[in-house]
Amino acid sequence: MEEFKLTIKGISLTRSELSDADEQLLKSAEDASKNAYAPYSQFYVGAALRLENGTIVLGTNQENVAYPSGLCAERVAIFSASTNHPNERIETMAITVNTTKSSIVDPLSPCGNCRQVIMEYQHKQKSPIRLILASQSDKVWIFEDAAALLPFGFEADYLKNS
């Protein structure tokens, strides 16, 4: 048996260390999270995408009493961008979460479904999607490529050989 190790490449910094553009995008995600529909979990997620033309597209999580019927903020934003701006690449996505149930100190990563969707759109646009993750604290994580969060993602190329 051979053992291997994965390294996730990203940076951790504080909000005050963000560029003005990144701070603005994160603020947009935070503002969007206030419009999330999360009556069951009280887990309010906001996502903000900056497209290559400078347009900001927002998304929030939308819960449903039948849990599988809801949708995450990341997918809401990506699908909205794809529908309304089909030829624009996503440069950066900021994602934030807040809740009144507990204090979330570390930034949270998108769920597995969202990671897979982000990777699909990264593959579709043939360029990386930069991610800014934040929570209720001052800590921010930045990943220059969404592949850092899904190192074994399922890719369309796999289907060509089946």
Q: What is the pLDDT of residues 44-94, one digit of tens each?
A: 999 999 999 999 999 999 999 998 899 999 999 999 999 999 999 999 999
Q: Is 23 helix (H, G, I), strand (E, B) or coil?
A: helix
Q: What is the pLDDT of residues 85-114, one digit of tens each?
A: 999 999 999 999 999 888 889 999 999 999
Chain centroid to CA 83: how far? Answer: 18
Tell me the catalytic residues. Answer: 74
How many angstroms separate the first and last alpha carbons of the chain?
Answer: 28
Q: Is 44 helix (H, G, I), strand (E, B) or coil?
A: strand
Mean pLDDT of 20-38: 97
pLDDT, residue 79, reads 98
Its pTM stands at 0.93
Task: Count the neighbouring beta carbons within 10 Å of the beta carbon of residue 153.
Answer: 17
Spell out the domains of the chain, with CATH numbers in brackets: 20-151 (3.40.140.10)
